[in-house]
Structure 1
């Protein structure tokens, strides 16, 4: 099958188009013919080797983390799905490879595609949708009447998270450029702060939740807007000891993550705020619930560009510019 492959880690090595063996089907797997794949900043980070210590992939590696497509075959233990089903999924972290014509993944990572969405629209959802769901619903337990700040509202995670938070009944603030303020309001943001001109920490206070996608100084400054007992959830790091435990990391990696996150955890404790790092996981049941939000028109997809399969390298480069509004998608079939 045709695929885009990483042979060696590092930006300068990039990815190549090539032929790879068809996936092997295990008894709990479904084999999916991929119609479209979402492109995420995570793809570049994996290509560059940023996760090679905690996600030790075997090279050559097919890149790509989320997809929409049609099931063509199922394993002997599969009961919920069948050939012909139109599905979408975030591939489990140890079995990625959606920049390809086919993929085999476990049934429990897969959900029926939202009926209201095209394959390209559905492929834009799994990674960002699960990230927002696991941050706001599962971890923050965001409730009606609470206040949430979502950084980088015009990005893939941001455009979904704003809509989800509004659907849950929260007051939503976000940071974005002035040029994207109109889009942020359309998606449901109550307050849009121009990150180039205004200091969000000087404008906002007594927030219940912050979802940070930036890390660094933005993460640290976010503590200032939270009320006592608030929750700061970061998806850009630094990883915390709980994440290391969940990953089953070796002792030296656990020690490294403890040190990396010590400063922000200490600062959070001083303010009686909870800091946690989120690396989202594949979850077909959650994707089924997310599909219902699209079919009821509670949330809509936001897609910046759709690239043809042969332009996968260009799609990845475009995402790396950080200028995409919403998601970038590769049309494979």
Structure 2
């Protein structure tokens, strides 16, 4: 099968299209013929860092990257009840391997693709969708009428966070660039703040929750506008002890949230997709041969929604 092989970290030229054997199935796995692949900022970060590659794959080289896939089951091993050959599925792959024509997936990570969305839309969900879903659903006790500030609301993670927060009944205040205002409002945001022309900490009163995808000064300023007893969850590493101390002093719960590879959460997300409550937004679809261009687009950090590859 064809797959993109990474022999060493570096630029997009390091992604080499080659031939490798189709994966052999282990107990509990199905073989998925890949139809579409989601590209995330994490993909570009890992591609650029030998330390990250080694952390994930060990010393093995070459490696096959790719965490978000959708496709069709073409083979199954033992203990794969609930999934059959021919089923349309999508997954967040714990051990990567998605930049390929076929991938072996443990059914614990798998969800059926809703019939009302395309393979490309399904591939746009797993990493970004769960990065928003898990902290908002499991990390925040959001009640109807609570006010939440979502930073980076037009991005892959942010555009899901806005929709999830509205689904939970929150009043959503969202930050993005002015050019994405209409897009963010179309997701359900009640108020939009252009971070390029406005200071959010001056534009709004205290909120109950903050979902942070930016970090740095944005995260620090968010402490100032969070109510005592409120919660801030950041998906970026918190490195400043004084930031945590400031939050504690104000009685604000400041937490770092790491993505969990969890098929149960993906299946719960699939349920809201089936009901049309949340809709993936795809900015651009690239062919399999243009994966380098897809990475380059993601690296601009200016994409509204998601970038997807068709196979």
Query: Which bracket does the TM-score occupy, shorter chain normalised?
Result: over 0.9
Compared CA separation, residues 319 and 146, structure 1 to 2 (3 A): same
Structure 2: distance between partners of 1:311 and 1:116:
27
Question: Of 265, 268, 286, which aligns to 2:247?
Answer: 268
Structure 1: distance between partners of 2:155 and 2:136:
16
Aligned residues between the structures: 309
Q: Gaps spanning 5+ residues in structure 2: where?
A: none
Is the partner of 1:70 in helix, strand or coil?
Answer: strand
Structure 1: distance between partners of 2:66 and 2:212:
23
Which residue pairs with 1:55 in the alignment? 56
Residue 323 of structure 1 deviates from its aligned partner by 1.8
Residue 53 of structure 1 deviates from its aligned partner by 6.6
Alpha-carbon contact 2:297-2:303 (below 8 Å) kept: yes
Alpha-carbon contact 2:12-2:296 (below 8 Å) kept: no
Question: Of 297, 302, 305, which aligns to 2:284?
Answer: 305
Residue 37 of structure 1 deviates from its aligned partner by 0.5
Q: Gaps spanning 5+ residues in structure 1: where?
A: 239-259
Which residue pairs with 1:295 in the alignment? 274
Structure 1: distance between partners of 2:221 and 2:21:
48
Residue 179 of structure 1 deviates from its aligned partner by 1.3
Is the partner of 2:270 in helix, strand or coil?
Answer: helix
Structure 1: distance between partners of 2:240 and 2:257:
13
Farther off after superposition, 139-148 or 82-91: 139-148
Is the partner of 2:211 in helix, strand or coil?
Answer: strand
Structure 1: distance between partners of 2:207 and 2:281:
26
Which residue pairs with 1:244 in the alignment? none
Alpha-carbon contact 1:7-1:61 (below 8 Å) kept: yes
CA RMSD of aligned residues (A): 1.5
Is the partner of 1:68 in helix, strand or coil?
Answer: strand
Structure 2: distance between partners of 1:313 and 1:15:
7
Is the partner of 2:82 in helix, strand or coil?
Answer: coil
For residues 165-180 of structure 1, what are the structure 2 equivalents within 5 Å?
Answer: 165-180=165-180
Which residue pairs with 2:78 in the alignment? 76
Alpha-carbon contact 1:205-1:227 (below 8 Å) kept: no
| CA deviation vs aligned residue, 1:262-309 (integer Å, no higher than 9, x gap) | 232222212211122122122222222211212211111211000000
Residue 56 of structure 1 deviates from its aligned partner by 4.6
* TM-score for both structures, normalised by structure 2: 0.95
Residue 13 of structure 1 deviates from its aligned partner by 6.0
Which residue pairs with 1:327 in the alignment? 306
Structure 2: distance between partners of 1:10 and 1:318:
16
Compared CA separation, residues 319 and 182, structure 1 to 2 (3 A): same
For residues 171-250 of structure 1, what are the structure 2 equivalents within 5 Å?
Answer: 171-238=171-238
Structure 1: distance between partners of 2:12 and 2:276:
42
Which residue pairs with 2:69 in the alignment? 67
For residues 78-117 of structure 1, what are the structure 2 equivalents within 5 Å?
Answer: 78-92=80-94, 95-117=95-117
Residue 261 of structure 1 deviates from its aligned partner by 4.6
Alpha-carbon contact 1:88-1:113 (below 8 Å) kept: yes
Residue 198 of structure 1 deviates from its aligned partner by 0.3
Structure 2: distance between partners of 1:60 and 1:13:
14
Alpha-carbon contact 1:205-1:224 (below 8 Å) kept: no
Compared CA separation, residues 299 and 78, structure 1 to 2 (3 A): same
Structure 1: distance between partners of 2:84 and 2:4:
27
Structure 2: distance between partners of 1:161 and 1:204:
19
| CA deviation vs aligned residue, 1:109-138 (integer Å, no higher than 9, x gap) | 100001110101111011111111101001
